[in-house]
A and B are shown apart, each in its own frame.
Chain A
């Protein structure tokens, strides 16, 4: 009962944050033993069951496209990477919790991917600068994953979690903080696993995501959000 639909999710982030380990964990349910530099793009497939046990049961294959950042950011590399950004159903933004700069660069990665989206409902960002309102109407679901969670000392945890909370608010996306060398973080039943399957549901089911979007926009317009000056998180 394999599905014929094609579901493509990009995995973006700075070089060395742990995208390959994350993708391996998500697709093979195993820890990657020998991580090495990703040249170009590496794809893997995650098998996801939908409505298991019911007559509507379907098996989806979610393609995770891990676009490596290790060759640098020359314009020739950027133009070549843009080839992979077509017809994307979802984006996972990965950053390293022990490296503040990688968290700032997440803005740049999302802009790069969304600018090149050639689907008719793609977001067009005109001046290249981050605009929160456009992310609120963005039709492509995002997920923020912070890696190397175990390497943060106890006393710095609160500071880091506050920072990532503001990040996820800016992107209107859920966030997961984990350690890619420990499958326990994504074990069935944990809140992380729930967030993950919710994200993949949104990716597979754009109408559901549209409803979620309009609901969250209505809620947002009524609440008074206390905002940290997010300019300090801005990429330089």
Chain B
């Protein structure tokens, strides 16, 4: 069955996806960093390109574009490449860059990177034990072994994110939850912040002055000789030193306060901007979408199986686009929050790994949303996995994640007005 298909619109689109991934990397993720290791950028773009191609193939499946043998060939090719990248390339490079950052191990980088990779493979393999994901007729070295494990990790991730998203989406967009923030609140906070900074400055000036006086007196003391001179020098530096440590403690406390005030001000500013945004036309539009999608998320939990081809195509398309967009936005925020110039390479590779596993599992789960006639290709390509297990696993983790998010947001929301009133 390995013949080259006659008409091929997959390859240009793959190049397009690769270009998009490349641009996203350069313009968004690595906006403030210099790309020194181009392999990271290439790996990220390749992962993105092949993941998007998988979605494209699903669309083609539903639309009936290209010949079925051509689609089958591309599915298989795509799958092999993605698995190769997710299981061999990305984990190896993650290990390599982590090891490169540690000075002690830098000499034997390759050796340690291989060791890390073997450790990863061990745990990856062990993942198959507690889950009933394979039927006994699969051999040890079959592709199902790899996909099933990737599927477990990816599905867990998806369920966690979806559960949180389903709860967070209505919370964020509905005006009901927004606290009332006025300009005077912000001004009051800013005034407190500046007052705290001024206090820190005056105390640090005192410390500097005291140190200088101690230093000068110390020089004078050296000139004083004799028994009394010695006693004097001991007592005066002691009181000077005690004063200093007292003031220093006050400064430490004030600095901690200034940090908290700064973060509080940022939070209040962000809330005010969100309120203003919700009053604009764009804000109202997304508000409406928020209502719509929260209802959709609830509906999805009950798994309604009433689909026709057009609806399934549109909805699958929307799911794909919003998942990709949502994932990229979340990953970007995450990246900005935790990266530094040293760790940026590692973090991007970790994000590529998450993205790849996420997309592979989307395909797995999407199978259930597709009408029976389109499921066959997915079953054929991915082999006979226990798809039902994945759906049950998704539902369990989704519910756990959604309930935890509700609890978490409720606690956070409850604490906030009290803090607000204390100002």
Contact = CB atoms under 8 A, between A and B. Distances in A.
Interface stretch (B167-175, B192-200, B221-229): B192-200
A72 B197 contact: no
Q: Is the interface of A mostly helix, strand, loop or mixed?
A: mixed
A231 B209 CA distance: 46
A47 B212 contact: yes
Contact of A77 (B32, B204, B261, B266): B266
Interface string A203-236: 0000000000000000000000000000000001
Interface of A: 2, 14-16, 39-45, 47, 59, 61, 63, 65, 71-72, 74-77, 79-80, 83-84, 96, 98-102, 105, 236
B255 interface: yes
Contact of A102 (B32, B193, B266): B32
B265 A43 contact: no
B33 A99 contact: yes
Contacts of B230: none
Contact of A61 (B34, B208, B266): B208
A76 B336 CA distance: 15
Interface residues of B, number: 33
Contacts of B201: 43, 45, 63
B341 interface: yes
B382 to A, nearest CB: 40
Contacts of B263: 39-40, 71
Nearest to B340: A16
A76 B207 CA distance: 34
Contact of A41 (B197, B205, B269): B197
A75 B273 contact: yes
Contacts of A100: 34
A14 B340 CA distance: 11
Interface in B258-274: 258-259, 261-263, 265-267, 269-270, 273
Interface in B232-290: 255, 258-259, 261-263, 265-267, 269-270, 273
B190 interface: yes
B259 A39 contact: yes
B76 interface: no
A100 B32 CA distance: 9
B325 interface: no
Contacts of A47: 208, 212
28 contacts: A2-B205, A2-B209, A16-B341, A39-B259, A39-B263, A40-B261, A42-B255, A43-B201, A44-B204, A63-B201, A65-B197, A71-B266, A72-B336, A75-B269, A76-B266, A76-B270, A76-B273, A80-B262, A80-B266, A83-B193, A83-B265, A84-B194, A98-B34, A99-B341, A101-B31, A101-B32, A101-B33, A102-B32
Q: Is the interface of B mostly helix, strand, loop or mixed?
A: helix
Contacts of A71: 263, 266
Closest 6 CB pairs of A and B: A40-B262, A76-B269, A76-B270, A45-B204, A80-B265, A39-B259
Contacts of B258: 40-41
Nearest to B211: A47
A40 B337 CA distance: 15
Given A40-B262, A47-B212, A77-B266, A99 B200 contact: no
B194 A83 contact: yes
A83 B264 CA distance: 14
Given A71-B266, A76-B270, A43 B209 contact: no
A96 B200 contact: no
Contacts of B259: 39-40
A75 B204 CA distance: 31
Interface string B162-204: 0000000000000000000000000000100110010011001
B270 A74 contact: yes
B413 to A, nearest CB: 19
Given A47-B208, A63-B201, A76-B270, A41 B262 contact: yes
